Amino acid sequence: MRKVLVDIAERTLAAYVTTFLGLLIADGFDLTSVSAIKAAAIASLPAALSVIKGAIGSRFGDKGTAAWLPARRGADRA
């Protein structure tokens, strides 16, 4: 269960950071503006959806991870 939670946390953080940076770059990268705060708030939406996706994946996808697709047979697993 701990592995799944770490997997979901990593995916959530990655979704938040990439969305936030993408919005900042598209807006001109001004961290002092109100639009940077809006970008931070908007970036939380894909991150929240990532948590939901991970929860669904851990239940119906590859057991032990947040992936939706099953693990490949014969693939090394850590």
**Tens digit of each residue's pLDDT (9 = 90 or more) over 8-19:** 899 899 999 998
What integer pLDDT is reported at residue 76 of this predicted model?
54
Main-chain dihedrals φ then ψ at residue 30, nearest 5 degrees: -105, 100
| Cβ-based neighbours of 20, under 8 Å, separated by 6 or more | 39, 40, 43
More confident residue, 77 or 37: 37
pTM of the model: 0.69
More confident residue, 61 or 51: 51
SS (H, E, C) 36-47: HHHHHHHHHHHH
What integer pLDDT is reported at residue 73 of this predicted model?
61
What integer pLDDT is reported at residue 41 of this predicted model?
85
